[in-house]
A and B are shown apart, each in its own frame.
Chain A
Amino acid sequence: MEKSESVQGKDIINQLAVVLRTGHFHTPDNVAVLSAIKRFLELINPVILQDGMLRIDLIGEFFYINENRVRYPLEFLLNFDYLIREFKRRELGSLTFVSQVRQEDMREFLRIFINAAFSTTPFEAMEAALEEIDSIRVERLKHIKEERDVDKRRLVKKTYFNAVSFTRGIMQKLRAGEKVSIKKAKRVIESMVDTLLSEESLLIGMTAIKDYDEYTYHHSVNVSILSIAIGQKIGLHRRALTELGLVALFHDLGKMEIPVEVLNKPTAFTEDEWKLIRRHPYWGARAILKLKGLDKTSILSAIVAFEHHVHYDYTGYPKVRRPLPLDFYSKIVAIADQYDAMTSSRVYSRVPLPPDRALSVMMERAGTQIDPILFKFFVNMVGVYPVGSLVLLDTRELGLVYECNPLFADRPRVMIIVDASGKRLEKGNVVDLTEKDSSGRYLRSIVKTLDPNKYKISLAEYLL
């Protein structure tokens, strides 16, 4: 019962998207439109009959049907994204069917919905026009309140730092030759998966904070978070997400063997030091296999630890004599790893790249060093201007990208740190770049990006 209910949820959302999509391309009397509507009504009317109503809410990036969150599988991803975008475009937050819906009601709704997009006040237009249809109600999209934001941020922060501190504990124990508990590691990853599913952008935002403690600890957690995020984007099941998060967390375990003086060296590495560095995948696989008996997780962790620098085209290290196709998880972790390493300072004595620059470097590597399709998922997730990017807006405001918007890759939420008059803002005000004025033009757009590292401007000050 539980299963069939969730199947229905995703089918309803998908079918609604199908109705709207076909409605966009055809006249309302078109056969394709009519049959899409018919199918939609067949799905919703029985639920309305049973529960008295059917309410679809859009909260954050997720749909809820009668207050149950709808999980969506990969095959519907594009339709879901489309529907979220269309809802947001009309500032539509909830759609309620209060009684049995007739075919002509739905046709009329479709017409109103499509026309609303041309109005400068789409929600009001839709609300007024819908007065005549008894069975359908709409409510405006609620912008998540700042108050709740603070609480959520506190929770995300807690989960994040707990994971870093846990990772530090693991590494220190391993260095000392002590046993570590995989059970606990799993629990830590599970809490990250949970946080990611509900507060994806905030948690990814945490990965932009780099300058504290030893690089390897937060780097491991960041790679784990980014890998889980890719995994969730491609529709992995939650158990697989935990597994992915765990192997990503252990990907650099081999660095324990490299003397700290070398790892944290401020100057360039010597050839011998590079040799040590290049050995960490080998040491990592070894450390994992020594850690515990063989099982699915340890085998996968060892594989990923060994392969994460091999590269998609095998040009990386270690050089392999008889290449077998890289493991799927290795390819995911490699992308997360490269991105985090490139945007971090204190790593291999390189200058950190601004997030958007790192992305364009990686873009050039897509298809050679990194898997091109997985990378596509990755950029669609982090956006053109990833969290932490320093941007100048067309309003002469300077800001830091604070949260990405999965649906509008170049319109993230930005924290303004210098306002249009050139005044420094201590407590940044967050603006959403998808906001429009009454004539339908965007209020703000990004025109330039700067290197935040050059000015030591970091999200840490604002996010923490």
Chain B
Amino acid sequence: MVLTDEIKDFIQALIKAKKNLHLYPENNPVYIKTLDDIYSRLTSVLQETDSITLRFKQYDILYDTDVVYHNEEKDESFALFFFKDGVRELTFKKGIPKEEFEEFMQVISSDFERDLVDDDIVTLMWEKDFQFISYVVDDTILVEDENYEDEATEQAKSGAAEDDEVMKAYEEAFGIEKSEGINIVPLTNEDLKSIVEEIENDQPEKSGKLISILFEMLYLADGKAEYEEISEFLKQTVRYAVQNGNLEAVIYCIRRINDAFDKESFSQDLRIYLRGIKYYINSIGFVKKLGEVLDEGVEFTQDIISEFASLLDKSSIPHFISILGDLKNISARKTVISILSELGKKDIQLLARGLNDRRWYVVRNIIYILRQIGDRSAVEFLLRAVRHSDKRVKKEAIRALGEMGDVTAVQTLKDCLDDEDEGVRMATVRAIGYLQTPVSRKILLEQINNKQFKEKSFTEKKEFFEAISRYRDTEVINTLFKILKKRAFFKRAKNEEMKAAAAYALGLMKEKSAVDLLEKLKSSKNRLLRENVQIALKRIRDGKE
């Protein structure tokens, strides 16, 4: 009786545990605690008896002859949950390891409601091949036709030989030739090895193979209706493939379609359907699916990504831009950026439309992509992006303009030197320096020589001097020397900053003629100046070798 009560409690705990394990992932503390608790409950019941056998009725669970559970609610009944799939008895044996019990718990807490699940509880338990849990199943739910066995048996027997035919066989047997059975070659270790290898190499994800078969089926298909059906299968398969992280299969499919157009003769009808499949792969629906997969953390190699992107149609550019803003996972966004960096080449203008996206980070990504592609036709769009209200976007655009090196950018960049944001201004200086044109040199010198210049922060100053250091001509060197020699009575600290930055630039230029001048400053009381002079001297000397 005590045991019966314990089992009642155990079942209640089991039901609660089933819910918890369904809700929480394996590493969650709730999951772990739930499992620990229910396992120790079970082992404590099994202390008192070697095994517990639960019997299932439609709405009841029985232990021995006692009802230990009753619930008639169809959706909730734990009894019905087992009963409906044919489970009639379930036994836990003493000594059950936690791992096995956990597997059992995972089985009963799996999601049986989902449409695509082909496994009922018996199948799942069967697959686990438990050692300490056994069950009795009533297979009559599987029987289609109770009389079949008798009917088939009768039918099979009815054709049986008459006695005289058997005797005829017996008599004739002595007259026929002696027969050699086939020669059975025993299995060798090589046979085993080659089979093991084949099993190991068998890829579980077979969408690629199915696609190749669907193409064969297209050759065999007869008429529009069949073309349509098979091309629908192809669409489903590429979708399935991408869902399962098999982008190679999608690549294979596009290649097959391209080949069909290039090399093979197909009817006009079939071409329409093939185009439809390609259209699907380039559609927003498919691209979104890919996005979901990426967001789940699936990653692809760079090679696969570039190959895939190179096979896409430019019409998918806007779709990729659209998902770019929705992705949460950083590496997913990186992947889409790398797709667009390849795909975008096919239509810079279409890609540049992404610059109008209302999400600043998307705009910034597009600029980055344009910069990666490096096509100068993007400059006109970038010039507009420079006027974007978000300074992060601005900076990216300025950088891109600098790297893509186009004189037409100079004027716009120059305007940016007056931007209220220091970061923007610094990016501009860098970009102008990058351009390496006479105009940019002129702009930089003008700025440095401007009276207001020394009011800038040291970092910004340094940026200018670094930029100007790329032009190693007399005028530049003289300007720098002049700064190093200049004495100031007011705003002395700002003046020292100028000197420090100029020294830094001469170091970058490895300008030997500056050594004397720098030597004089190397023990300056101003730490900033002193340190920068020392760095410069070291650079110049190291540069000698």
Contact partner, A190, options B126, B163, B199, Cβ 8 Å:
B126
> Which A residues lie within 8 Å of B261 (CB)?
none
Does A392 contact B216, Cβ atoms closer than 8 Å?
no
Contact partner, B145, options A3, A165, A376, Cβ 8 Å:
A165
> Which A residues lie within 8 Å of B97 (CB)?
1-2
Rounded to whole Å, the gap between the CB of A306 and the closest CB of chain B is 5
> Which A residues lie within 8 Å of B215 (CB)?
321-322
Number of B interface residues in the complex (CB < 8 A): 81
Does B100 contact A295, Cβ atoms closer than 8 Å?
no
Does B167 contact A424, Cβ atoms closer than 8 Å?
yes
Does A410 contact B181, Cβ atoms closer than 8 Å?
yes
> Which B residues lie within 8 Å of A282 (CB)?
217, 220
Number of A interface residues in the complex (CB < 8 A): 96
**B-contact bits for A201-240, CB 8 A (1 contact / 0 none):** 0000000011111000000000000000000001110110
CA of A356 to CA of B146 in the docked complex: distance in angstroms? 34
Does B160 contact A456, Cβ atoms closer than 8 Å?
yes
**B161 adjacent to chain A (CB < 8 Å):** yes
Contact partner, B176, options A157, A324, A385, A448, Cβ 8 Å:
A448
CA of A296 to CA of B246 in the docked complex: distance in angstroms? 13
**B303 adjacent to chain A (CB < 8 Å):** no
**B-contact bits for A359-382, CB 8 A (1 contact / 0 none):** 110010000000001101101100
Does A379 contact B182, Cβ atoms closer than 8 Å?
yes
**B-contact bits for A244-279, CB 8 A (1 contact / 0 none):** 000000000000000000000000000000000001
**In terms of DSSP, what is the predominant structure of the interface of chain B?**
helix
> Which A residues lie within 8 Å of B148 (CB)?
161-162, 164-165, 168
Rounded to whole Å, the gap between the CB of B132 and the closest CB of chain A is 7
CA of A460 to CA of B159 in the docked complex: distance in angstroms? 9
Does A464 contact B204, Cβ atoms closer than 8 Å?
no
CA of A158 to CA of B127 in the docked complex: distance in angstroms? 22
Contact partner, A212, options B122, B156, B170, B236, Cβ 8 Å:
B156
Contact partner, B206, options A74, A303, A422, Cβ 8 Å:
A303
**B209 adjacent to chain A (CB < 8 Å):** yes
CA of A324 to CA of B206 in the docked complex: distance in angstroms? 12
In the complex, the chain A residue whose C-beta lies closest to that of B95 is: A1
**In terms of DSSP, what is the predominant structure of the interface of chain A?**
helix
> Which A residues lie within 8 Å of B160 (CB)?
456-458, 460-461
Contact partner, A448, options B173, B186, B187, B237, Cβ 8 Å:
B173
> Which A residues lie within 8 Å of B233 (CB)?
286, 289
**A169 adjacent to chain B (CB < 8 Å):** yes
Q: A75-B192, A303-B213, A380-B184 are in contact. Are A187 and B139 (CB under 8 A)?
A: yes
**A16 adjacent to chain B (CB < 8 Å):** no
Does B120 contact A183, Cβ atoms closer than 8 Å?
yes
Q: List 5 A-B contacts (CB under 8 A).
A: A209-B156, A238-B127, A324-B209, A448-B179, A464-B153
Report A's interface with B, CB cutoff 8 A. Answer: 1-3, 68, 74-75, 77-78, 157-158, 161-162, 164-166, 168-169, 182-184, 186-188, 190-191, 194, 209-213, 234-236, 238-239, 242, 279, 282, 285-286, 289-290, 293-297, 299-300, 302-303, 306-307, 318, 320-322, 324, 327-328, 356, 359-360, 363, 373-374, 376-377, 379-380, 383-385, 390, 392, 398, 409-410, 417-418, 422, 424, 446-450, 454-458, 460-461, 464
